[in-house]
Amino acid sequence: MDINSVGIVGSGTMGLGMAQTMAQHGVNVTLVKATPGSTDKAQATLKKSLERAVSKGALREEELEGVLGRVAFTDQLDPLADCSLIVESIIEDLETKQDLFRKLCKIVPAETILATNTSTLSVTALMSVCEARARVAGLHFFNPVPLMSLAEVIHAFETSDVVVTALVNFCRRIGKEPVVVQDTTGFIVNRLLTPYILNAIRLLEQGTGTIGDIDKAMRLGASHPMGPFALADYIGLDVVNAMAQNIYEDVRQQYTATPHTLTRLVLLGYLGRKTGKGFYDYTQQPAIPNPDLARPVA
């Protein structure tokens, strides 16, 4: 099963990252903005990202226009009918994703592979709304997609081995190292990573260490490129919160429950780097630990 053209639904950070990576490896991509309206912002963001790649030597300047030319932008699903693989990367809400899959099943041929880039939702639950279930799988990339080498290929309950093999081969074609994972909430990386971040928050709440010292300890003592609080801010605290809730719903273990501090930050809209404040305050240069979190938790 050859994958010659790819449709991506969702033009946010992950969708654009996937489109850039695939286009840089010679794959034609149709990128669908999930909500109606102009795609100008998405096009400008992709071009800016490619220009950064040129400035860092990751892309030759003469290749830039060719890569851009391999990505077609639209806000309609119909142009996806000719794609051999479609990857959805929309909001992390099961019903919304299921509704999208129902629509895609009416548009694309039965042999088209339908994949989800979900980080923690059940691929089998998405598969359940399709008639041709064997062609549904998970294809989970990591942010930033052009730089992160891992891709998780998720084998859901009725995913065919042919589809899994096709996705593994495709990942290698676009420069990724694939691992095959059974459909377990959080898969491999987030199933291990989310409790790690949650436990760091509990250490903070218990007064075991400060934000800065806990991050430093994991950077220097475990050779992590960034500590758990910097990582949570980078991922987005709303995303971390959603992953924690999904995993907790599955395992019902206290170590996966959301700590009060994370809940409080999300409620206030402090989501990390993207909002300027989370566990760190990024309005300061260099960023400093959020001073509000130095106070004891009630």
- 49 part of the active site: no
List the beta bridge partners of residue 136.
114
Degrees to nearest 5, angle at CA 158 with 156 and 162:
90
Residue 213's Cβ-count burial label (10 Å; 0-12, 13-18, 19+) is: middle
- 119 part of the active site: yes
- 140 part of the active site: yes
- Size of the chain, expressed as the number of residues it contains: 298
Residue with tokens 């065919």: 160
Q: Round to whole Å and give the CA distance between 140 and 1.
A: 20
Q: Round to whole Å and give the CA distance between 30 and 81.
A: 10
Q: Round to whole Å and give the CA distance between 229 and 289.
A: 9
Catalytic choice (11, 117, 152, 246): 152
CB atoms within 10 A of CB 245: 15
Catalytic choice (84, 190, 246, 290): 190
Q: Round to whole Å and give the CA distance between 196 and 213.
A: 16
Catalytic choice (11, 140, 246, 290): 140
Catalytic choice (11, 119, 122, 290): 119
Q: Round to whole Å and give the CA distance between 81 and 73.
A: 14
Assign 21 to helix, strand or coil.
helix
E runs forming strands in the chain? 5-9, 28-32, 71-74, 85-88, 113-116, 136-141, 150-155, 177-182, 280-281, 288-289
Q: Which residues are tagged catalytic?
A: 119, 140, 152, 190
